[in-house]
Chains A and B, each alone.
Chain A
Amino acid sequence: MLEQWRKAVFEETNGLKPEDFSWETPEGIKIKQLYTNIDSENLDFKQSLPGFPPYVRGVKASMYTVRPWTIRQYAGFSTAEESNKFYRNTLSEGGQGISVAFDLPTQRGYDSDHPGVKGDVGKTGVAIDSVEDMKILFDGIPLDKVSVSMTMNGAALPILACYVVTAEEQGCQIKKLSGTIQNDILKEFIVRNTYIYPPVPSIRIVTDIIKYCTRYLPSFNTLSVSGYHMQEAGADAAMELAYTLANGKEYIKNAIDAGLDIDEFAPRMSFFFGVGMSFYVEIAKLRAARLLWHEIVSEFKPENKKSSLLRTHCQTSGWSLTSQDPKNNIIRTTIEAMAAVLGGTQSLHTNSFNEAISLPTESSARIARNTQWILQNETGITKVVDPWGGSHMMESLTNELVIRAKTLIKEIDDEGGMVTAIEKGIPKFRIETSAIAKQAQIDKKEQNILGVNKISNSDQELEEVLEVNNEEVFKHQINRLQNVRTNRSQTKVDQALKALTDAAQREEDILLELTIDAIRLRATIGEVSKALEKVFGRHQANIMNVSGVYGKYFKDELNWKEIVIGVKSFAHAQGRNPRILISKMGQDGHDRGAKVIATGFADAGFDVDLSPIFSNPKDIAKQALENDVHAIGISSLAGAHKTLVLNLLAALNSQGSNDILVFLGGIVPNCDHKQLLDAGVKAIFGPSTPVYECVDNVLEYLNANNNSV
């Protein structure tokens, strides 16, 4: 039979063989034109059933046929009042839980009045400085009834403490609280950079929270191990699987070392994966994740069957959204949502279509929510458990991903675990290399994206943009902070903070208990973080950069060769290479874009300086001046660009560095462009601008500027 099919393909295609149609995924898996029973017959897990080990087919026997996944939309912005209004609205419109986004200063353990965070206050989420803010955030939302998910890692201790104290003061019994705190600090060191302390004390905090919650908040999910941010940073599916599960394993080892029993906490661990546009691979990834986690946890000999179940939340990919033709993103998000659901997720967040341009607006958030409602109610998708089960392709693909992830996990195990692997930069290096390769493929049009490298629609309708008035939020927070500080007993707060610092020095003390005491007395998030920082220190990232990866893809391309020649002739004329400082300012630690850009410029022949992440405009100006760069490239993804870039331009002016050209890249709404360009920014590059185009453009400006020594 198979031979006859091969012959039919040959005839239909004028002489091509099925092998000519196979393509390799970024994970290195060869996808064939046709799968048959030969491809899946030897797979043990194929015979398993949903609700039974190894859970490939789902964590529950009945899955969505009885209860569909939870629609859980992540949101939060500006002030507690504004966010509260939004949550109440969501709940009244059928939302089934709240997922809180915090602003970056809160995530990094800074109060809103800390110098150096001003531009970020209230930008990517809600600003929380003390329990007073948290009480407003959850006003009218009974915490013993509504489950709350909090994306908090760095400042998990004070934020969880605020949540507990808010519940107490609402009159709830805290043992009834159900919700989730992300509390996954390891991935912050691998990708997102929103850490506070170094890895070792950071893991101690994770374990501390698990310990406390096991005792006092038995229904609370203490850990949501996240692969989402790795995918966003450029990891392929095998890396996302491997590093997320390896992180989970590290947490288990630490909790067991701290004296906990696996069955006490493992059932309360959950996961969080990203779902992108690689449809088949994403479905297979969730199936593979369950199988692998079951295997990993089984090594620790749990007795409770729930311990080795991988329950997961998913979110559609933010990186897959384009700023060109943004309404196409509705379609992308729908497809990704389908992959998440067909993979068997327990809850889902669907992105808003305009998120490559700005924060979601009320109407774009509604469309995102509706996408899930339609999938649940209009399609019949929920009527069958694991509909892909038995597909030769899907079973084979699941197996391939398992194999690849295992190889990567072994590499981590061989290093002695994730902490050492992180210190050596192994996962970071692999993810960054993958990110640059992916960008190069898109820039080379080997991977198609409508509106980016295919059929660009130039006349776009003007988008509606949600803008957070940062100045207002800032003033608001400062006022409330002052109120909190005047109306508390300073002596008591000082004592509580001192007790916390002392406890940090002793391994055995439970920090969360003491943090709750301090928060109850109205200590602020920043004060609590500082009290611990005295003992733990603040982590400084060791930034490494990959070079050569981008240029390799382009070395034979004509326009790339022209750019390289252009750089050389600039160097010849000036007596040195063009030099650019690539910077991240403010509290935005998402550095994928900056890294990719740095590699692209260096590969084209620029000398590239990197600033430390979390720099302030003054530091950048000083560095640019001392290094005597021709240009500065700012990467901004968290909405703080206006405040920070305008401050940078002012700082450059005041030190006489008017000859340094400033470029901006990342998420910058169109309505801000004019003001920034008028103020002196030379050009603004959107998130899907090909890197070679940026290089070419910058070079053109440098030539025009012709600044000689």
Chain B
Amino acid sequence: MIDVQELKMGNRRALAKAITLIESDRDDHRQYAKELLNSVMPFTGNSYRIGISGSPGVGKSTFIETFGQKLIKSGSKLAVLAVDPSSPISGGCILGDKTRMRELNRLDGAFIRPSPAVNSIGGVTESTHESILLCEAAGYNWVFVETVGAGQSEYKVDTMTDVFLVLIEPGSGDVLQGIKKGIMELADILIVNKADGENLKLAERTQIQYNNALNILNYPKSWKPKVLTCSSIENLGFENVLNTLNEFRLIGQKSGSWGGKRKKQTVV
């Protein structure tokens, strides 16, 4: 079965098998999964958990491909949990995320695991949180959870991550209406992707529009959401993304909101 020692040493195969076990719906597997989680629990909690969402086609995978390489180059270990919706008809699904993470997939410091989201809207399953814990036990200090922006899933991701990134299309600010408000209230950082070439000006305008919209909203939190721009293709703006993430963590730790959120998450 799964060698906890191997898992803790960062053995890729052990981690992969452990996630399979967590995701299994067989009763005996579930029981065993619980035991496994209990035994690794002391070694969890030491990653920066990042939820990444956005509508299909906005460039989530490409964003992760570029940003992930940056993190790994600076010595981090990154796990990416990508959740794909299953086909409602057959129950099977096509998981194509890694086709857009070619270079990241090649790096030793990266572990990428797409998971079919069985019977859940938009993506995040109960097991996602447990998978995060396993990645942490295996020594990954950054964990990305990528979901399809289908509305409800965002709320779930938000409950299991430290920070919530929402990627947006240049030009999407023009239709900034009530429907977006829900996501915006959850987002800690909004990133206008594809800020390159002909889209550059449009992306900057979109950034301003979102900033204006955010000014109208009330924030009970100590953090006022930021709107950034980046280009995954031209590798621009990522230093800023990283700095903002670090700033977010620092402010959260100072204000105590960080610990509070984490406490809620530890309930398995």
Contact = CB atoms under 8 A, between A and B. Distances in A.
Interface of A: 537, 540-545, 547-548, 551, 564, 567-568, 571, 574-577, 598-599, 601-613, 615, 618-619, 622-623, 625-628, 655-657, 709
A608 B16 contact: no
A602 B25 contact: no
Contact of B99 (A541, A571, A601, A626): A541
Contacts of B23: 575-576
User: Which of B91, B92, B102 has the most CB atoms of chain A within a 10 A radius of its CB?
Assistant: B92
User: Which of B87, B91, B233 has the most CB atoms of chain A within a 10 A radius of its CB?
Assistant: B91
Nearest to A572: B26
Contact of B94 (A547, A615, A625): A547
Interface in B147-191: none
B205 interface: no
Contacts of A610: 94-96, 98-99
Interface string B78-101: 000000001101111111101111
B13 A656 contact: yes
Nearest to A582: B94
Interface string B39-57: 0000000000000000000
Given A542-B100, A543-B99, A628-B16, A605 B92 contact: yes
A602 B92 contact: yes
Contacts of B201: none
A611 B98 contact: yes
A350 to B, nearest CB: 36
A655 B17 CA distance: 13
A545 B92 CA distance: 13
Given A625-B12, A627-B114, A709-B20, A611 B92 contact: no
Contact of B116 (A551, A577, A611, A657): A577
9 contacts: A567-B92, A575-B24, A602-B92, A603-B87, A603-B92, A611-B99, A612-B102, A619-B105, A626-B113
A709 B1 contact: yes
In order of increasing CB-CB distance, the 9 nearest A-B pairs are A575-B24, A575-B26, A543-B99, A602-B92, A628-B16, A612-B102, A605-B92, A545-B94, A610-B96
A316 B142 CA distance: 53
A604 B23 CA distance: 20
A608 B233 CA distance: 27
A599 to B, nearest CB: 8
Given A548-B90, A622-B12, 14 more contacts: A540-B102, A575-B24, A575-B25, A602-B92, A602-B93, A608-B93, A612-B98, A612-B101, A612-B105, A615-B102, A626-B16, A626-B113, A709-B24, A709-B29
Nearest to A608: B94
A175 B243 CA distance: 58
B183 to A, nearest CB: 24
A601 B112 CA distance: 22
A612 B97 CA distance: 9
Contact of B90 (A540, A564, A575, A709): A564
B90 A608 contact: no
Interface in B99-138: 99-102, 105-106, 111-114, 116
Given A610-B99, A709-B17, A601 B92 contact: yes
A623 B97 CA distance: 11
A564 B90 CA distance: 8
Given A607-B116, A610-B99, A625 B16 contact: yes
A548 B24 contact: no
B192 interface: no
B7 interface: no
Contacts of A541: 99
Contacts of A604: 90, 92
A644 B33 CA distance: 37
B91 A657 contact: no
A626 B96 contact: no
Contacts of A575: 23-26, 29
Contacts of B116: 577, 607
Binding site of B, secondary structure by majority: helix, strand, loop or mixed? mixed
User: Which of B21, B29, B94, B99 has the most CB atoms of chain A within a 10 A radius of its CB?
Assistant: B94
Contacts of B20: 576, 628, 709
Contacts of B94: 545, 547, 598-599, 602, 608, 610
A574 B2 CA distance: 16
A252 to B, nearest CB: 22
B58 interface: no
B91 A605 contact: yes
A603 B88 CA distance: 10
B203 interface: no
User: Which of B1, B26, B29, B86 has the most CB atoms of chain A within a 10 A radius of its CB?
Assistant: B26
Contacts of B202: none
Contacts of A607: 86, 92-93, 95, 116
A656 B101 CA distance: 24
B195 interface: no
Given A609-B114, A612-B102, A619-B105, A548 B87 contact: yes
A429 to B, nearest CB: 13
Contacts of A613: 99
Given A541-B99, A612-B98, A577 B92 contact: yes
B15 to A, nearest CB: 8
A542 B194 CA distance: 15
A674 B56 CA distance: 44
Contact of A548 (B25, B89, B98): B89
A287 B17 CA distance: 59
A16 B168 CA distance: 60
B102 to A, nearest CB: 4
Nearest to B116: A607
B19 interface: yes
A619 B106 contact: yes
Nearest to A551: B90
Contacts of B105: 612, 619, 622-623
B25 A576 contact: yes
A262 to B, nearest CB: 26
A564 B91 CA distance: 10
User: Which of B1, B101, B116 has the most CB atoms of chain A within a 10 A radius of its CB?
Assistant: B116
A541 B91 CA distance: 27
B233 to A, nearest CB: 7
Contact of B113 (A537, A540, A603, A627): A627
Contact of A628 (B17, B90, B93, B112): B17
A333 B17 CA distance: 50
A633 B214 CA distance: 48
A548 to B, nearest CB: 6
Contacts of B113: 626-627
User: Which of B21, B26, B90, B116 has the most CB atoms of chain A within a 10 A radius of its CB?
Assistant: B90
Nearest to A613: B99
Nearest to A424: B57
A626 B100 contact: no
Contacts of A568: 91
A511 to B, nearest CB: 20
Nearest to B65: A540
Nearest to B27: A575
Contact of B12 (A551, A564, A574, A655): A655
Given A551-B89, A608-B95, A628 B19 contact: yes
Contacts of A601: 92
A149 B2 CA distance: 59
B91 A577 contact: yes
A623 B62 CA distance: 17
Contacts of A564: 90
A609 to B, nearest CB: 5
Contacts of A612: 98-102, 105
